[in-house]
Amino acid sequence: MIIVRIESGLGNQMLDFAEYLAVKKAFPNVSVYADLTIFDINQKVNLPISQWNGYELNSIFGINILTLKDLLGSDYDNLIDRLIESQFWDNDWRYAPIIVGYLNEKGYCIENMCALGTNGPSKVPFSKKVLGLLREKNYYLYRYGYTNICRMIAPYLNRNKLSLYYPGKTDNFYCGQTLNFMMKGYGIEKIKNELMQSFEFPISGLSERNRKFIEKIEKKNCTSIHVRRGDFLVKNDFCYRFGYFSRAVKYIKKRCGCKIFIIFCDNESVSWVKENLSIFGLSSTDHIHFVTWNTGKQSFWDMYLMSKCRNNVVTQSSFGWWATFFNSNKNKITCSPDVRINTTNWF
């Protein structure tokens, strides 16, 4: 039996489901269950990290999979109560050991592959402490050093990694939420057909506004720019401060002469973007359009619309990355700020 953790927003849920498919492919004769406890807990406790629109793989894509609730039956509520009592959110979100411990009490003999918390080990390695201190004291120097290190290791990142398929492992373990399938070299192409079949957008529910917009952008040489501020500003702050967007846009303009840019952002960010066009390498001579109308449970349509643009500029966001994955343009230019992310270019 294998259990795969699924949590967070839609982009992460889709990456977790990719891992679910990977282990099913690696262990075809083993029962695989999804751990959706975080969403049930969020209905009872106001967790400090938002789960956005809740579990969306079923409501959007019609994906039905076996879950821990199916496995445990009436015992599932006891597991939820134990998780809430633990207040794991104050312990680096380390709820995997609690779940595995509970399952082992029930006689399932599960190995925990998620011993580390969502945010990494509690004891930070010395190297990361040094990098963290350098980032805090001199971000320019940190980015310069980080960028050059990435350039040195870039040739080695395309080597195929098999860790997400768990070779040599027993068939009883708990895993998930690595998010590594958006990174280079982890073999997502091995399950691309399964992913494309699973992630079929419900086109019949496409609004008239979205439909007309897609008709326009598919006829034009358009580039999408995913401006994710708000909840992710801390992680993506360097993209705005140190020229990532302008370098990516300059490259796309030079390579394909694109002058039509579609900005995907929240309503609160529109004025800020307009006042800071130079940050994005844009000017008044460019044709700029904003997409802000897909909100709440309709937010997933932004992913679909971005995928219809010829080129994409994204940040460290799994939601934006999936748009680059679904982009079917054979000559697409997809840009990210990290050499490890599986896009055609990084800046």
The pLDDT value given to residue 120: 42
Residue 155 pLDDT > 70, yes or no? no
Q: Alpha helices of 51-162 — where are they, by DSSP H? A: 57-61, 68-72, 76-86, 96-105, 126-137, 139-153
> What are the tokens at 232?
């992710």
The pLDDT value given to residue 314: 97
* pTM exceeding 0.75: yes
How far, in Å, CA of 239 to CA of 163, rounded? 29
Mean residue pLDDT of the chain comes to 88
| For residues 165-191, average pLDDT | 85
The pLDDT value given to residue 235: 75
Whether residue 277 contacts residue 240, with contact meaning beta carbons closer than 8 Å, is answered with no
How far, in Å, CA of 331 to CA of 152, rounded? 26
The pLDDT value given to residue 92: 86
The pLDDT value given to residue 49: 75
Q: Higher-confidence residue: 323 or 119?
A: 323
Burial class (CB in 10 A: 0-12, 13-18, 19+), 222: buried
The pLDDT value given to residue 122: 46
How far, in Å, CA of 262 to CA of 5, rounded? 34
Residue 116 pLDDT > 80, yes or no? no
Chain centroid, CA 270 distance in Å:
23
Q: What confidence tier does 47 reach under pLDDT thresholds 50, 70, 90?
A: confident
Q: What confidence tier does 147 reach under pLDDT thresholds 50, 70, 90?
A: low
pLDDT tens per residue, range 6-36: 999 999 999 999 999 999 988 999 999 999 9
> What are the tokens at 82?
């134990």
Whether residue 94 contacts residue 100, with contact meaning beta carbons closer than 8 Å, is answered with no
Residue 192 pLDDT > 70, yes or no? yes
Helix (H) or strand (E) holding 34: strand 32-35
Helix (H) or strand (E) holding 130: helix 126-137
pLDDT tens per residue, range 235-291: 788 888 889 999 999 999 999 999 999 999 988 899 999 999 999 999 989 999 999
Q: Is 131 helix (H, G, I), strand (E, B) or coil?
A: helix
Q: What confidence tier does 48 reach under pLDDT thresholds 50, 70, 90?
A: confident
pLDDT tens per residue, range 170-181: 789 999 998 989
The pLDDT value given to residue 46: 87
In the chain, the percentage of residues whose pLDDT exceeds 70 is: 83
DSSP states along 171-218? S-EEEE---GGGBTTS-GGGGHHHHHHH----GGG--HHHHHHHHHHH
The pLDDT value given to residue 121: 44
Tokens 């994204």 found at: 314
Q: Higher-confidence residue: 51 or 74?
A: 74
| For residues 325-331, average pLDDT | 97
Residue 156 pLDDT > 80, yes or no? no
Q: Which domains does the chain have, with CATH numbers?
A: 2-118+162-181 (no CATH), 126-156 (no CATH), 202-346 (3.40.50.11350)
